[in-house]
Structure formats: C-alpha cells, structure tokens
Chains A and B, each alone.
Chain A
Amino acid sequence: MMQSFLRSPFSTLITFITGMVVLLGYFIDVDPLNVLRSRFLQWTVLLAAVALMLGVFNLMRVHWKRLKESSIKAIYSFAFFGGFLLALAVGGLLGVQHSLTRAVIDFVIIPIETSLFVVILVSLVYALTRLLQSRLSAFSFVFLVTVVFSIIGSIPLLGIEIPFLQGGDGILSLMTRVLGTAGVRGLLIGVALGSVLTGIRVLLGLDRPYGE
C-alpha cells in the first residue's frame, strides 16, 4: 500500500510540483517563487551529489564481490581498489591541491586519458578512410569532403595559406558560417524541441523514469 502510494501518485505529484516551481521561475520573477525555487535547486544539487556517492558505492560493491570470487577478474578489481585508495589517501588526506595529488594527475591520469584519445583518433581516421567503401552515398561524400576541407582549412599548407580556401572570405569560412550554422541550428532546435517534449511528459506523469 505504502509502496504503491509512494511510487505512483505521490512521486508523480512531487515531480510535478518541483518541476512547476523550477520551470515557472524561468519566466516569472516573483520573490516567494524565487526563494522556493532556489531552495529546490539547492536540494537538487545535494541530492545529485549523494546520488554520485551512491554510484561510487555501488561500483565498489561490485568490485568487492569480484574480489571475493578470486577469479582472474579479481586482479582487475584489485587494481580498481588500489587506484581508489590511492586517490582517497592522496586527495582526501593531503588535499586536492597537494603536490602529490598533482603528480598523480600529471603522471597517471593525463597520460592515460590523452593516450586513449590518440587511440580514438587513429580509429576515427581509419573509419573515415573506409567510409566510402562501406556506404557510398552523396551524403557520405559530403561528410568526407567537409572533414578534409575543414582540417586543411585550419592550417597553412607548409607555411602557405591559400587565398580562396582559407581566410575570412575563403570558401571554408563561408561554409562554416553559412552551411554549418544552418545545419547545426536545425539540429539545436530539434534537440531543444525533443528536450521540451520529454520534460513535459515526465512532469505531467506520462513517463516515470523514477519508478513504476
């Protein structure tokens, strides 16, 4: 009884009230509403932080189970806990701005993330070279040409800038300013419309991502 009450009508009501208070604050500047809205948003920030902590806790629980299984994956979980404890010890005890914390960032995090990005770069170039083989269409061709021209247009070709290609009045600038803006603007409006519709559906209780 309590369970179903909390789930369906009460949760929907909470979502609706909270959402309306926050949403109206965008368009109506009234003090009591602003105060309430500010409170709600502050609690939201706090709840989001707690949700992140719970997420990390859940991650730890999964790895703890793996660690107890003592399989080959336990080694990976051991590495996870090693990194986790290292970060807790360095960041929590010494401080985030301590030199050892900075050393961990500089010598561990940055090399790993940057190298991963390089691997992704190679994969992207590889995929791009095979684009016309896997899907030959006018749009693929436009996509490929746009990518190549955009890269070439951002650099001087061995120290020489081609007048009509590069520069403020060049083709690339025109393409970026006009054609690129047109396409992205359509995409942005589409994304915004989708966000609005999805949000309104949830606020009105038509969709309930927070429970049944």
Chain B
Amino acid sequence: MEAQRCPMCGQANPPHLEVCQYCQARLKPLWVEPSEGSGSAVEDGIARSKAPLEPDEPLVPEWLRTDRMQIDEGASFNAEELGQEEPLFPEEPLDTDDFLGGMFSDEPLGDQGEDVPEWLRSLREDSAAAERPLQSAKSADQDLPIPFWLDFDEGAAEEVPPQSPSAIEKVPPFKEQPFEDIDIDSAIFPSEQEAGEKLTSEEPRAVSPFETFEPFLFTEQPSQLVEDSTSEPEAAEVSSKEGKTSPPAAEGDWMSEIPPWLETLPGEEWMESETAEKEIPPEFLQGAVPPFVETDEELSEIEFPAWLDQVERSIEPELDTVIESLTPPAVERLTTMEEEKGEVPKERPEALLEEEDAVEMVGPLHGLRGVLPAEPLVAEPKKPSKALSELLLTDKQRAQAELFLRMIEEEGKPQPIPPSRRAKPHLLWRVLIFLVLFAAAAVGLVLRPFSSAPQELSVGVFDAMQAVNQLPAEAVVFLVVDIEGSDFAEMLATTNALLDQMMIKGAFFVVVSANQTGALQADRLLREVSRLNGHKVQPSSGWLNLGYLPGGVAGMQAFAQSLPQILPNTVDGEAAWQDKRLQNIRSLADFPLVIVITEDSTRARQWIEQLKGQVSEARLVFAVSAQVEPVLRPYYEANPRHIQSVLAGIRDGAIYETQSARPGWAMQLWDAYTLTALVAAGLIILGALVYFLIGLLVGRKPPVEGKTS
C-alpha cells in the first residue's frame, strides 16, 4: 500500500493512519466511505488529469505550471521509500508552493485508494450516466454525517432567479480591506458560500473568491488556497447534475474546467469572452438584493432594518476614512488598546469570546486556537432568504457587526483629555501669605508709630497744594467721586488732607459720580473726612450730592456742557440748583476747581478726555489710587500739562498730611501700611525665588502654543 500524503503539510504518512503524524490534520475525509477497487480508477483519473499540465497547455498560468512541475519531481520518489515511512520532504515550514503542489498532486487522491469519491466518478461518466452516482451519493448521505460545508440546499439555486449585472456592481467587492463592506457583509456572508458552490459551469461566477467573500486570512496567506480544492468536486457535482445545459468535461480533462477562483488570475484573458455570463451575480446577493432591483434608485428603496439605517447614518461620513486605516494591524492595535483599558470583557459579546478561544475545526487552520471567525460566516450553510427585502442576521453576525461599529465609534469619539498635571493651588501658601500680611498689618497698627513719615514733597502734592491754596474762601468745588467700597480706605487716605484743607477754607462741594453706588461713597467720603478732621460739615450745608451720572463718556460730555439740564436734582430727589451758591454755575467751566477722585484708570482717562476743553487744565486735579497713577503720568508729564496735579495713593496722602501738619487717616494707616508692604515685598521675593528653584529642579514643560496667551 502506498503512503498517504497529508493534504495539509504534504508529508508522507503510513496508509493506516487517519491523522497526520506531523501536523495532526485528518488524512481521510469523514464523508467518504472507502470502496474497494477504486484505486486503479483513481490512478487512471490522475494519469489522465496530467494531460493539461503539459507545457503547451494554454490555460494554466505560469506559476501554476512551475508548481506542478515541482510536484511532479517530488512525486517521482520510490514507493519503497514511502514504505519506510520516510518523509518525502525535509521537515521544513511549508510554503505556498507546497500547498499548491499538494493540491494538484496525486497523492491525496491515491490515499482514498479503495473508493472513488462522487465528484471524481461524475467526471468520468458522460452526461447521461451522471444521475446514478448522485443518487448513490444521496443514499450514502442519508447514512453518514455530511460535513456542513456540503450540506446546502440543492434546490436553492433553482429557486433564486438570476440577477442583473447592475445588482452585482452595487455590492463592492471585498478587495483590499477586509471590513470594507461591513454594512452589507452581514447580509451576504451566509449565502455567499452557497452561491459560489451552486454556480454551474455555464454560469461562472462573476466575482472571484479573492474579491468577494474570501476571508482576509486567506488573502494574506495564499498558500491556504488549497482549501478551495475541496469545493471543486462540488462544483463538478453540480455541473453533472445540471448536465442538460452544461455537458461535463471528458474524463481526465477536468482540469480544463477552470475553477471559478482561477478565472481572475493574471493572464487569463481568455475568459474575457464570457463577460456576459460572468455578470450573473452570485447567490449571496440574491439574499440581499431583490431580483427586481435594476437601478440604484430601486436599490435605495429597499427597507433595511431601522437599527442598521440608524447606525449607518451615524457613521457614514466617517466610515470611509476610518476603514482605510483599519488594516489588520490597526485592528490588532485597537484590540490591544481595549484590552489594556480593561474594556474588552465588558464590551465584547460572549459569542465572540468563545470564538476567539475556540479551536478551529475545519480547513487549513484546523487545530489552531484563536483564529478570526471567518469560517462560520463563510461556510455555514444557510437557506436563501424567502423574504428577499429583509436583512437576515444571525446573533453572531449582529454581535460582530455591533462590535465593529462600536470600534469605529470609539475611534470617532474624542478621547477625554487626561487631567492636567498642573499643580493644585497651593492653599497652604495662600493662607500663609494671608496670615503673614494680616499679622504685619496688626503689628503695625498696634506698635505704631515706628516709621518715619514721608518727608519729600512730591511734585504732584506740591501742585495740588498750590491749587487748593489758590482757592478763594467758600469756593464751590466740583468733585467727581468714582470709587467703590473696596478702595474706599485708600481713597480716603489719599484725599483726606486735600478735602480737609478745602473744608478749612469753607469750600462747598458739588458731588457727582459716574458709577451707580459712587454717590453713596461720595457721601461717606466727605462725612468721614469731616469726622476725622473735626469739621461739622453736613450734606446740605457742606456738599450737594447730584447722584449718579449714567451714559459713560456721553454722560460725562453732556454733564460737562450743561450741568443743570442733565442732573437737576440731588440724590434724594430735591432740587439741586436752587441754592444761591450755585446760581452762577451753569457748566464745569464755572467751577474754580474740579477734582476727580477715582480708583478706575479707564474712568480717569475718560474724564480727562471729556473734560478736555471744558475745564482749564490749571483747575483740574486728580486724586487717584496708586494703580491709576501710571496711567495719568503721561498726561501729567506732558508739556504742556493736561492736568494740574495728581495725588496718588496713601503715600501722597501722607505727604500732604505731613506737609499740612494735620496728620489724619493716611498717617493712621501709614505705619501698618509700610510694614505690610515691606513684608509683602519680602514674600514676593522669597516666594518667587522658591518657585523659581522648584521650577528649575522639577523641570518645566514648554508652554503650549495657543495656550500661552
């Protein structure tokens, strides 16, 4: 007895073995019941089948021809050597040529020695006798379990009418990207295999296996094309069954009947003449596209399940770009990322997990664990759908489709930005700053006086004193008080001496404010100055509060032009301009002195701009917060000046009080202020130094473009 060659690894095995001793692949098909005396017939068939392999054979491509020649060389070994169970080929990894050589070699057929399979028998008989072996095969099928990939409904092909070529074109072929047609794959996979099997020789498949439903594992590994050899007998069987339209090929000439998957190989221009027949769609399309569909418009009218439409709409814009990046390595990366995140157990359906862990039971991947689930989708027998307009999905397909869609959606979703590593606000440092400053202020207030009063007479204070000194007695002074409660302490310190001096001279104040509550602060300011310096000035007798001047710069301009028309009443609703001290005043130009008291630099600038031309510069004095002084400096330092004087901050207030020999509010706070300012400066220097060193030691991230501004 001859040694049997393993169809998987090509190694020679003793004839009594059922499983390859090298790769553990099954050597004898389960569905074939060996029959006696068939060995010679097989040999004859093999001998005849070698005829097309001659070099002058025009149908076989070059690569196939060389492969066969290699196999022929390998097959000329001594049968005795096989009897010694020595391997035919050295134990090396199999390559593509080995698989193809095994496919076309005689050994697998010879192994079946005792019996001839049905497909081979049908090749040897003429069309009239083709019915008999089929019947015998059917009877054998009833006794033996038929592999699932042979268990297709024979009558299905007859039930499905041929489809138009346009229907084929609407389904994109499975070309380079395995998931390119994912939205319709779920519909076409179940019937695809059947369609490929049921095509007769007269109706060759228009789409080759490489382009349609071939799993990408196969496309990546051409050596495994040997799997397709199992479908050839079936095709021959079907052709013999439908012998009326397709006369079977002569015995020994079966290789001239090119299998469908070879039709699209390079160099097969001879098939172009059969283009019209190729356009008949495979059967898998018959389950997805109704036979009456001829145009795109009709195809678009098909009602797909709602969930699929919804999903398709949501991902359609992104699908093309995403799929292009979904090469198998990319899918592996995605899977790896999910596994790293620990999301896989939550998201993946159990069916998929089982598939991944399951052992492949058929095909060239037999015995391998964890292969992608291509087989069930391709080879599972399905009856064609009766309801052609419906999309039939198994649970497994739905789970896979959902998983894939989820993967795509995950890719489309913006990844959450990881939390910034920016250090949290150093609460302790802030509290420490507060406590230190608070303590410094408290110590300064308790221990005062310990600091010297500022002695130097600044230019601003000097000019302000001059302006006040030039005031006539009981003059009417216009005060703009634009201050908030937060700056009240500083503004009181700044203006205390100035207002005190004017009160001494019996000045009468007309007060207005350009912010809503400034009128309240103006009242409080004058009241406090009066109280602190021992005056008994009251609202009606000492000042007139006109209240709030709305309108911003327009209000200032309007007010500068015509006071009585804009603000005729006081803040309490009484007539303002009835006082006989105001009889001669109709505009700002009529006041001998205008003092703007503000802590807002913008408002100070606006007052200067709007009072320009309305009030003489010599009569315009600004008493402002220390933060406003730099803004007013260009107006004050200009030649000629645009304002008469600038009193800025507690320092100028203290100087004024010192120069006028009437210590007041500014001098009350001066000691504590100087100590607090000194401590604050120390804290700033110390803190900046510490954080600078921390930044150098820890390392600084470069500022991100666009965030730095």
Contact = CB atoms under 8 A, between A and B. Distances in A.
Interface of A: 22, 34, 37-38, 41-42, 44-45, 47-49, 52, 95-97, 101-102, 105-106, 109-110, 112-114, 116-118, 121-123, 125-126, 128-136, 144, 147-148, 151-152, 154-161, 166-168, 176-177, 180-181, 184-185, 188, 191
B205 interface: no
Contacts, number: 193
A95 B547 CA distance: 12
Interface residues of B, number: 77
Contact of B549 (A45, A106, A160): A45
Given A41-B566, A114-B486, A131-B688, 9 more contacts: A42-B558, A42-B565, A97-B571, A106-B524, A126-B687, A154-B626, A156-B452, A159-B451, A160-B452
Contacts of B99: none
Interface string B450-462: 1110111011000
A184 B565 CA distance: 36
Contacts of A181: 633-634, 637
B456 A168 contact: yes
Interface in B64-105: none
B520 A96 contact: yes
A93 to B, nearest CB: 11
B646 to A, nearest CB: 12
B16 interface: no
Contacts of A48: 550-552, 554-555
A169 to B, nearest CB: 10
Contact of B688 (A117, A129, A176): A129
A179 B686 CA distance: 26
Contact of A176 (B524, B633, B700, B708): B633
A9 to B, nearest CB: 24
Contact of B634 (A133, A166, A188): A188
A151 B695 contact: no
Contacts of B685: 148
A177 B551 contact: no
Contacts of A97: 523, 539, 545, 571-572
Interface string B677-701: 1101101111110111011000010
Given A48-B550, A128-B688, A159-B451, A185 B634 contact: yes
B191 to A, nearest CB: 59
B484 A22 contact: no
A36 to B, nearest CB: 12
Given A45-B550, A144-B688, A181-B637, A155 B561 contact: no
A49 B550 contact: yes
B605 interface: yes
Contacts of A45: 549-551, 554-555, 558-559, 566
Contact of A122 (B437, B487, B565, B633): B437
30 contacts: A41-B557, A41-B558, A44-B551, A44-B555, A45-B555, A45-B558, A48-B555, A49-B551, A110-B524, A112-B485, A114-B488, A122-B437, A125-B433, A126-B687, A128-B684, A129-B688, A148-B681, A148-B684, A154-B626, A154-B649, A155-B673, A156-B452, A156-B454, A160-B452, A161-B456, A167-B456, A177-B637, A180-B630, A188-B631, A191-B605
